[in-house]
């Protein structure tokens, strides 16, 4: 009987130790997750600060100040040089002009399709069928 009681105590002790071990590991993992979330939050804040600083450095006023400090000025037509690169084929320009000559021929519709509902109804009331 003493052996059974001791076996039960050892069994309960092992279950309690296993429970404590799992609880301790869960607590450590939870704490590590909190630390990583805190670090992520800090990195996001630092990233936002760096983006703000970059936007400030690339603003027109800042670039103008730095270019003046370096004695830069706007290039004139005489100072601008273009290079011809053999074999380079540029992209064709996009034609945004509405060509009415081709579209007017394609959009010729019968008068039946361009007649308003009121005109059609008026004709039906008068008894005429115009096509």
> Tens of pLDDT along 85-111?
999 888 888 888 766 555 555 566 666
Q: Where are the domains of the chain?
A: 2-69
CA–CA gap between residue 126 and residue 121 (Å, rounded):
9
Q: What is the tally of helices (H) and strands (E) in the chain? A: 5, 0
* Contact of 122 with 128, CB cutoff 8 Å: no
Q: Over the chain (131 residues), what is each successive 10-residue block's mean pLDDT?
A: 92 95 95 97 97 95 93 90 89 77 59 76 76 51
- pTM as predicted: 0.44
């Amino acid at each position: 009987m003493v052996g059974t009681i001791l076996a039960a105590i050892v069994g309960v002790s092992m279950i309690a130790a296993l429970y404590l071990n799992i609880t301790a590991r869960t607590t450590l993992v939870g704490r590590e997750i909190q630390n990583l979330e805190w670090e992520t939050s800090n990195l996001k804040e630092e990233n936002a600060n760096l983006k703000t600083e970059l936007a400030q450095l690339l603003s027109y006023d800042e670039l103008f100040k730095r270019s003046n400090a370096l004695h830069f000025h706007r290039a004139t037509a005489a100072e601008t040089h273009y290079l011809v690169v053999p074999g380079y084929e540029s992209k064709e320009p996009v034609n945004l002009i509405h060509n009415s000559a081709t579209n007017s021929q394609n959009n010729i519709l019968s008068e039946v399709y361009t007649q308003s509902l009121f005109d059609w109804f008026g004709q039906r009331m008068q008894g005429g069928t115009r096509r």
